[in-house]
Structure 1
Amino acid sequence: MESIYLDHAATTPIHPTVIDLMTSEMTQTFGNPSSIHTFGRQAHRKLEDIRQVIAASLEVKPHEIIFNSGGTEGDNTAIIETALSRQSQGKHLITTVIEHPAVLETMKYLDGLGFDITYLPVDKKGMLSVAAVKDALREDTILVSVMYGNNEIGNLMPIKEIGELLKTHPAIFHTDAVQAYGSERILPHGLGIDLLSISAHKINGPKGVGFLYKNDEISLPSLLHGGEQEEKRRAGTENLTGIAGMGRAVEMLTTNEKERRHEKYINYQKIILTQLDEAKIRYQINGHPEKKLAHILNLRFPDIASDLLLMHLDLQGVAISTGSACTAGTVEPSHVLEAMYGKNHSAIKESVRISFGLGNDDDQIYRFVTILINTIQKMQA
């Protein structure tokens, strides 16, 4: 039985080309980038070359890229350090109720320190109103943090409109773009984004590495204290092997490749929905049907318990999920679906997330939906 992995929103397999490069880097470029001898200078040059590659993908300056351990560190750095360094100007922060736990838990931490947090709601399709952001802004608002694309339902947030709104307000604009970077063309300067968090493991790169984009026009203290790496912006010896793998993964994310993936994933969605319709399986799409990431499809199957469905599919070699991997292994319901439907709505326990990526093809998707249909029919019987 060949396994079918459809949980790429949780993490992605490392691309073989990335693995080859990282293996080579571990043996050839092992010096500390901060050392002044030949081995260190070689490592430093490699580090700066990769910084340029990543900066080019966002059309920003290389100096605006800070290497770190991934999205969680990026979110924590952006939010905590903005709050602590600007609290003399105000203590009001704005975010949404459907953010990743790396943002929500960080906001909760700051709330305990006396900061005033506004959590903006979303509608039944999971969309955020720009008017709500405008209404929430105050003179003492110092940060607005809104994710680029939601990791559970795939919705794209109105980032451009929020950026326009903040042009006339001194608040810093942060976005968690971990789920969107691999498929969307993101240009922070044009969108008014000041801080942007990324994880390599969402784009077929290694785990434990990522970067934070920081607009050169704003100051941001380091979250970690120690050495003077990353120009004193992030202490700790850089994970050069991981950064090299991330750089190669980014190099493969050309505009044409993103467009190719988008078209392919939209086709996967069509295959699944068409087959479900033909089999007369009842379902509902969670989230906005159009303003969304192509690789995420969140479906509700009425009267089908999602945890049991996942268990049956797992036994047949199929991997999907009920939501964020950061809440896996718990009985906590999806905070995203709760925000959309209300805490006691039946959709919360009847919904699953299907997400596409490297290794999937049409044949796999047809086999998956056949297994899905058969499983649902047996559960209904």
Structure 2
Amino acid sequence: MARVYLDYNATAPLRAEARAAMIAAMDVVGNPSSVHAEGRAAKALVERARAQVAEAVGCKPVEVVFTSGATEAASVLARPRPGHDVLVDETAHDALWAHNRMVDWVARPAGPGHTLAMGLANSETGVITEPPEKVDGQWPVGEARADWLLLDVTQAVARIPFSFGWSGADFAVLSGHKFGAPKGVGALIVRDGLDIDALSHGGGQEMGRRAGTENIIAIAAMGAAAEAAQAELADGAWDRVAKLRNILEEAIEARADQTIFVGKDKSRLPNTSCIIAPGWKGETQVMAMDLAGFAISAGSACSSGKVRESRVLRAMGFGPEEASSAIRVSLGTGTTEEEVLRFADIWTTAYAKRRTRAA
């Protein structure tokens, strides 16, 4: 039977709109920094995409800085100023966690330059975490306070309603391939009027925030994908996906009531199911399902190939065995009910056989 792709949180298939935009952009010869007609044509593609991404993210076009992805965008956290600490939420993606730099926040709660970095929607569990309310113009972090907020909205964009403007955040990071753009293009959103050190230095592209000639082919595709994905969200496509996720979990629970569905009692992304089967290693489950024709994940794709328990699940209070026995099934708008029911049947059959052998 045809393989079934259930790993949309790792990457989504390339959208037809993005493919068409890429092909069209390949014929544009100019450098966006050139002032002649060919250069202006290339610049127009970049600016159209900037407006499309801004519309999808709910920000101003001038606030969009194109990057190679969310990981590069998050490197804005790696540019500390004197007295600047970064506190990263424990359940954040590794792209943020790598920049965790907390130096005795409680001892100097009002110190200038502190940044709170967190994910709006977790890639492994789908759990949505809303930013805290500001207190006296600052973001509360326990007993301390942060001056700026960076949100990772990589999994949230075009799957749940989001607006950078009303979020109150100072920065946001995202990757185009999560909503159907090609891999290798993303954006850093910087609140208008906020000064940052450049991500890279050189020619002064991207309003002086990221030097280097723009990848207009990928950028044009990202803009087209963002527009199509936002229209899909507005049409209710992800409401249907949420129903499929519920069907999947109900089918598994009916035959394997020992399983744990992480975050089932919390607000979650409509497409994500994190399933713990105690005693059955996540990577073993992934291999078994791969052989059966299903693409799933044992956690964040950026941590693939590393046999380790989930840092995110440990931070949520799960023990070592549970944290190492989890898989992530993430659906897309192209997923069908037949596919999720077939997965549930094959997965529960394999789980039952494993439990019988272990008994």
| Common topology (TM > 0.5) | yes
For residues 264-299 of structure 1, give each alpha carbon's deviation from its aligned partner in whole angstroms, at most 9, with x where no partner exists. 222112211221233244211112523111111101
CA distance in 2, matches of 1:310, 1:246: 30
Q: Does 1:80 align with 2:78?
A: yes
Q: How many Å apart are 1:358 and its aligned residue?
A: 4.2
Task: Tell me how far apart the structure 2 counterparts of residues 279 and 261 of structure 1 sit (CA, whole Å).
Answer: 28
> Is 1:145 matched with 2:120?
no
Q: CA deviation at 1:348?
A: 1.2
Q: 1:137, CA displacement in angstroms? A: 8.1
| Corresponding residue number in structure 2 for 1:32 | 31
The partner residue of 1:173 within 136, 149, 162 is 149
Could you tell me whether the CA contact under 8 Å between 2:150 and 2:170 is conserved in 1? yes
Aligned twin of 1:56: 55
Structure 1 segments (4+ residues) deviating >3 Å: none
Q: 1:361 aligns with which of 331, 336, 339?
A: 336
The answer as to 2:100 corresponding to 1:116 is no
Alpha-carbon displacement from aligned partner over 1:60-84 (angstroms, at most 9, x marks no partner): 221111111110011112x123x23
Q: Give the equivalent residue in structure 2 for 1:201.
A: 177
Distance 1:356 1:136 in 2: 44
1:242–1:137 distance in 2 versus 1, CA, 3 Å = farther
What is the CA–CA distance in structure 1 between the aligned matches of 2:339 and 2:208, rounded to whole Å? 47
Establish whether residue 22 from structure 1 lines up as the match of residue 9 from structure 2: no
Contact 1:98–1:335, Cα closer than 8 Å, also in 2: yes
Choose which of 167, 184, 187 in structure 2 pairs with 1:191: 167
Residues 305 and 256 of structure 1, relative CA distance in 2, 3 Å threshold: closer
Q: Which SS does the other structure have where 1:321 is aligned?
A: coil
Give the direction of change, closer, same or farther, for the CA distance of 1:280–1:72 in structure 2 (3 Å limit): closer
Aligned equivalents of 2:173, 2:291: Cα separation in 1: 35
Query: Match of 1:338, SS?
Result: helix
Structure 2 CA distance, aligned partners of 1:288 and 1:259?
25
CA distance in 2, matches of 1:157, 1:199: 19
Answer whether contact 1:183 1:258 (CA < 8 A) is retained: no
Alpha-carbon distance in 2 for matches of 1:157, 1:167: 20
**Structure 2 match to 1:67:** 66
Once the 2 structures are TM-superposed, how far is the Cα of residue 21 of structure 1 from its aligned partner? 2.1
Distance 2:59 2:188 in 1: 12
What's the counterpart of residue 372 of structure 1? 347
Could you give the per-residue CA deviations for residues 116-156 of structure 1, whole angstroms, max 9, x where no partner exists? 276xxxxxxxxxxxxxxxx8981115211111111111111
The residue that corresponds to 1:238 in the other structure is 214
Distance 1:263 1:137, change over 3 A: farther
Identity score, percent: 29
| CA contact 1:154–1:293 (8 Å) conserved in 2 | yes
1:4: Cα distance to partner? 0.8
What are structure 2's unaligned runs of at least 5 residues? Answer: 140-145
Name the TM-score, length of structure 2 as normaliser.
Answer: 0.91
Count of residues in Structure 1 that have an aligned counterpart in Structure 2: 349
* SS of 2:10 mapped into structure 1: coil
CA contact (8 A) 1:322 1:353 kept: yes
Report what 1:323 is aligned to. 299
Structure 1 residues 299 and 20, CA gap change in structure 2 (3 angstroms): same
Mapped to 2, the partners of 1:321 and 1:136 lie a distance apart of 41
Write out per-residue CA displacement over residues 225-271 of structure 1, whole angstroms, 9 at most, x where no aligned residue: 11111121110111111011110111112366256233122211221
The unaligned stretches of length 5 or more in structure 1 are: 119-134
